[in-house]
Structure 1
């Protein structure tokens, strides 16, 4: 089935909807990364405050935990950065798309 060319209004609306969804995704992923960092800082504070880190260190899990925290935190932050780039690319595409030039 062939898709007919979208009108200027339809095209703008589709881009607007997509950009809003990407904006929402950026917002939620930013919150997720921040909560992840806060939760893990709280955990680290508690294990060091109560000398529980010694148990984790003896089981050789402290370095693993720290490494995994850093990996996940940077991954989440990286995901947000990729979404910002996607948002910019979509905005550029909106401007360049010939469908979005009104018939004037």
Structure 2
């Protein structure tokens, strides 16, 4: 039985962990346009804080955030794990079976 891996965060979840310097959106909310609607793409100053997205030219806002619609608060993002916290990964066991010496 293989270990269970934690669900990977989506681009939107990772971007929304940071505040936006342009539209002043708080962590946990998408970027907003001047009218207060959800912007179609995240502002550059925000998505470049995510290492794997830093070189992208644009990062579109996820469809479940309702781009173009008035923003409504949803589920808050998960809190980040502090860097000094020990990893929760634990090896439970190890087994090996060789079939070379097996008699049929």
User: Shorter-normalised TM-score: what interval?
Assistant: under 0.3
Report the TM-score, using the length of structure 1 for normalisation.
0.25
Higher gyration radius (CA): 1
Higher helix share: 1
Higher relative contact order (CA 8 A, sep 6+): 1
Report the TM-score, using the length of structure 2 for normalisation.
0.25
